Amino acid sequence: MHMTVAEPSSRPEGRLIEVVHQTAYQYQLPVEQSWQLAHLRPRPLDRQTVRSHRIEIDPVPDWIEEGRDYFGNPETRFAIHAAHRALTVTTTSLVEVYSGQAGLLAAGQPSDAEQRLARAQFSSPSPQVPRSRRAQLYAGRSFREGRPFLEALEELSHRLHRDFQFDPNATTVTTPLETVIAKRSGVCQDFAHLMIACLREVGVPARYVSGYIVTEPPPGQPRLIGADASHAWVCACSPSGVWVDIDPTNDRLIDTDFVTLAWGRDFSDVTPLRGVILGGGEQHLEVRVTVTPGL
């Protein structure tokens, strides 16, 4: 089964990036019923236009529906009522990303009411980003009174990048924040959660952003981290109400190397694919992501 969505636009020409994201489950026993929720369609933004999007699901769902979640992210809901021992979901997205809006204009400028709601939503503890005294102390070294916001934000990102090691074997998607702080290692999800905790502890609203990153650099530049899976970074709200996207894993403001999927309070709000199944026994998950720039 496949579904295609195309979004026309009159924006100036930007950089085209194709993303193929495949999620494959293998089950030990037959699954009799499956209900799934996917955040796999890139979110339309001022900094990007979704030129096309296709989703292919095997086996074919008995029911499928496109919509938006509480945070305004595109989502796909589907159900499979026939017995199956494997589930494969493949999305192919062609996104045009624009220069000149990196970081400071990544999310556009919401209304005053939206701004107040967003600040409240993204200032409080969340399931995977609880209160943390250690995060507060760590952030306080960068966010000193009277210091310019962007300067403090970039220094916090630099310190996290310097003090914490990227290690794909150090954590899982359920590793608690305090364990990440103690180990001083993790993956992009952990770097994002930790930076969000730091920011919220010093009164800066911050949200978790999921997406993709082009990891092949220009000649002479270092390869970026984030290949073979969806990426994650942080969007922080300045005192003036401007939202700034920054990637602590690679220590940089986002630019045309980044494609945004969705945002929420933390990873639990924007899991690429999650659901409930009846049966199945043990399961094996494999995720493959290919990001191809410059089409």
DSSP class of residue 170 equals S
Start-end of H helices in the chain: 112-121, 133-140, 149-163, 177-183, 188-201
Secondary structure letter of residue 295 according to DSSP: -
Residue 98: φ, ψ to 5°: -105, 145
Q: What is the pLDDT of residues 190-230, one digit of tens each?
A: 999 999 999 999 999 999 999 999 987 666 666 555 555 68
Q: How far apart are CA 11 and CA 124, in angstroms?
A: 36
- Domain 101-269 adopts which CATH fold? C8orf32 fold (3.10.620)
What is the length of the chain? 295
**What are the φ/ψ torsions at residue 191 (nearest 5 degrees)?**
-60, -40
CB atoms within 10 A of CB 203: 11
Question: Which DSSP category does 45 fall into?
Answer: B
Higher pLDDT, 293 or 151: 151
State the pLDDT confidence band at 120, using cuts at 50, 70 and 90.
confident
Confidence of residue 126 (pLDDT cuts 50, 70, 90): very high
Q: What mean pLDDT, rounded, does the chain reach? A: 89
The answer to whether residues 215 and 289 touch, using CB atoms and an 8 Å cutoff, is no
Q: Which CATH number fits domain 2-96+271-293: 3.30.70.1400, 2.60.40.2250, 3.30.2020.30, 3.40.50.620?
A: 2.60.40.2250
pLDDT band at 70 (very low <50, low <70, confident <90, very high): very high
Q: What pLDDT is attached to residue 118?
A: 76
pLDDT of 12 strictly over 70: no
Confidence of residue 179 (pLDDT cuts 50, 70, 90): very high
DSSP labels, 249-294: TTTEE--TTEEEEEEESSGGGS-SEEEEEEE--SEEEEEEEEEEE-
Which tokens go with 144? Answer: 């000193």
Per-residue pLDDT, 269: 97
pLDDT mean over 244-271 = 96
Dist CA 194 CA 53 (whole Å)? 32
Output the CA–CA distances (angstroms, integers) from residue 151 to 252, 255, 281, in the order listed.
12, 18, 50
Predicted model pTM: 0.89
Query: How many C-alpha atoms does 43 have within 13 Å on its Cβ side?
Result: 27
Domain with CATH 2.60.40.2250 in the chain: 2-96+271-293
C-alpha to C-alpha distance for 191 and 171, rounded to whole angstroms: 11
Bridge partner list, 86: 26
